[in-house]
A and B are shown apart, each in its own frame.
Chain A
Amino acid sequence: MTTEIDEQTRLGELYMATLIRAQWRLSMSVLGSATMMIGGLPLLFFFVPATRTLDVGPVPLPWLILGVLIYPAIWLAGHYYVRQSEQIEREFTELVARR
């Protein structure tokens, strides 16, 4: 099978196209969620003015979100992606080895 991929038989190309599509879909889903979560914040501040002025203790809400809470969320998104994409590659390698 590895030689089929190397020599670009139609079967090899099909396998590669499937792998690339799976990785692309994963990337897009994580990117999409991140865009909605992070990219939605300015819109939230814009359309719901109360969120701009709300205070949590001595700290305004936007400062709490943008200054602290957003960073663990970014890391979690990255961590999730790393595990999922390794999973895709593991499955692909097993699939190819089985033949």
Chain B
Amino acid sequence: MNTSLGITAIAAVCVMTLTIGALGFRLSRTTSDFYVASRMITPTWNASAIGGEYLSAASFLGVAGLVYALGADMLWLPVGYTVGYLVLLLLVAAPLRRSGAYTIPDFAEARLESVAIRRLCSVLVLGIGWLYLVPQFKGAGLALRAVSGAPMWVGNLVVVAVVLINVVGGGMRSITLVQAVQYWIKLTAISVPAFVLISWWMHHGQPIPQVASTPPGQQWSHPLSGFGGVEHPVYATYSMLLALCFGTMGLPHVLVRFYTNPDGPATRRTTSIVLALLGLFYLFPPLYGAFGRIYLPHLPAGTSPDSITLLLPTAVIPGVVGQLMSAMLAGGAFAALLSTASGLTICVAGVVDQDLVRGRLRRFTGNDARAVNGFRISAIAAITVPFGLSLAAGDLGLADAVGLAFAIAASTFCPLLVLGIWWRRLSTTGAGAGLVVGGTLASVAVLLTIFKQVHGGWAGALLTQPAAWTLPITFVVMAVVSLATPKRIPRGTARTMVRLHAPEILSANLGKQRR
């Protein structure tokens, strides 16, 4: 195939990302600019940026890949990604913004008045962030290989370089603009080829997917049929849905983005725009899975289902049109993973910086180093580890790997945030116990899944989709231990509750006293 079109598209996305990022260089001078972009961004920009950051390689390529491979049950993936923001809106959006926290560790420390809890959260952010970054690099490798035949590591390296230049150089002001533009790039890149495919399909006999049903009863287009060898599909569907719906609020790169809203009500309005933007985007990925089953029922040897979106156009429409569409999709996929990887890197770097690097750097340099240098060093650390992991990682699907990150977030941060925001009797000991138990159970399940130690039957179903049992266990542990340790309820709880829930007009004075 013609490789130059695809490479041009990917290069254009990278160059544009860097150029827009460069515009923000001069604006980011202090640490607070780096983290929150000065909070001067309107809800629509903010919502586009949230959408741009959230729609990752898993959404752009992974959803279509899993729908192609496993059929109708995977339609729940994009639904779960969207409902996650609805749950976030209902349970935590405005109070979290009012808490004034940049990150979940910040929130945990302010609410529970404990540095130990803060450290625990930092470790979890690091784990979830890395787990989420690995599939982004893998997606880059897939996209570049699909258009140019280059080995996987080349794509990985390109993403690492672009993200590092952008994050280290510009900070978040640039990233907010970049992310907002990325959303619209992604929507265009996935919708235009989809419309072309639809009209092609309409004018060429409207074939429907012909999928051999083996063994009988496993129908690709019917839900809960166990197509592709999924065992206990009802449990798997519910557990996946639970992880996605309740894990979104605990993803490291989600909360930071909310801090750029000026107040609680603006945060809510932003989130409701996000729901519309995500819903619009997710109309398209399943189409590629379905068209894949129609026009490309057998994948070429050596390709993974995750590249179905990229392979489809040239398989359907011969000539330049197909190649242009393919190039457009590769560019969109790159936009998707660049934006997610940037956002995650900023968050993980922020946490590494605050809790690991800054103190040590100060000891070495006798307080000479500017705080921003610590952030830059941390950004390099934040991205090189998952880069290494992505080279070592096996054939775990993009959306599968992301799903595991959601499961850990749902089993740890979701109970912490929900109980922390709504329940006065949450104690420091209870929160700590819940995080340790939930984090350990979910991590063990995830590690067993990644390293292929999971076999069939109920044990396999429970381990590959752990959220349905780890999430309730964490809630119970946090609540029971909190009730047993009423003396460890933070002293400032009542005051914190006022700050989380009182409308800004009333709590203006209070907020200033506390800061």
Contact = CB atoms under 8 A, between A and B. Distances in A.
Interface of A: 2-3, 5-6, 8, 12-13, 16, 19-20, 23-24, 27, 30-31, 34, 38-39, 42, 45-46, 52-53, 58, 60, 62-63, 66-68, 70-72, 74-75, 77-79, 81-82, 85-86, 89, 92-93, 96
Contacts of A46: 224, 234
Given A2-B509, A38-B79, A62-B222, 11 more contacts: A38-B241, A39-B238, A66-B75, A71-B279, A74-B79, A74-B275, A78-B85, A78-B86, A85-B94, A86-B268, A93-B506
A3 B509 CA distance: 9
Of A27, A45, A77, A78, the most chain B CB neighbours within 10 A belong to A78
Nearest to B508: A2
B282 interface: yes
A21 to B, nearest CB: 10
A16 B424 CA distance: 12
A15 to B, nearest CB: 9
B269 A82 contact: yes
B268 A96 contact: no
A30 B279 contact: no
Contact of B86 (A39, A66, A77): A77
A61 B413 CA distance: 35
B275 A93 contact: no
Nearest to A19: B501
Interface in B203-246: 206, 208, 219, 221-225, 234, 237-238, 241
Contact of A71 (B282, B422, B494, B497): B282
Contacts of B513: 6
B498 interface: yes
B480 interface: no
Given A8-B495, A62-B223, A75-B279, A96 B86 contact: no
Nearest to B285: A67
B72 interface: yes
A96 B495 CA distance: 18
B283 A31 contact: no
Contacts of A27: 90-91
Given A42-B238, A45-B223, A75 B501 contact: no
B272 A82 contact: yes
Contact of B75 (A16, A38, A39, A67): A67
Interface in B259-301: 265, 268-269, 271-272, 275-276, 278-280, 282-283, 286-287, 290
Interface residues of B, number: 54
B83 A6 contact: no
Contacts of B79: 38, 66, 70, 74
A39 B147 CA distance: 39
Given A38-B83, A53-B222, A71-B279, A58 B206 contact: yes
Contacts of B326: none
B505 interface: yes
Contacts of A24: 422
Contacts of A3: 509
A13 B85 CA distance: 30
Main secondary structure of the interface of A (DSSP, over half): helix
B224 A42 contact: yes
B87 interface: yes
A5 B222 contact: no
A6 B509 contact: yes
Interface in B37-93: 72, 75-76, 79, 82-83, 85-87, 89-91
Contacts of B86: 34, 74, 77-78
Interface in B479-515: 494-495, 497-498, 501-503, 505-507, 509-510, 513
Given A62-B223, A86-B268, A81 B89 contact: yes
Nearest to A54: B222
Contacts of A81: 89-90, 268, 272
Given A45-B223, A63-B72, A74-B86, A20 B497 contact: yes
16 contacts: A2-B506, A5-B506, A12-B498, A31-B87, A34-B83, A60-B221, A62-B75, A67-B75, A71-B280, A71-B282, A74-B82, A74-B83, A75-B276, A77-B86, A85-B94, A93-B505
A51 B505 CA distance: 50
A78 B270 CA distance: 11
A49 to B, nearest CB: 9
**A-B pairs, 3 with minimum CB distance:** A71-B279, A66-B75, A52-B222
B303 to A, nearest CB: 25
A32 B505 CA distance: 30
B418 to A, nearest CB: 10
B239 to A, nearest CB: 11
A20 B422 contact: yes
Nearest to B235: A42
A23 B19 CA distance: 43
A42 B223 contact: yes
B72 A85 contact: no
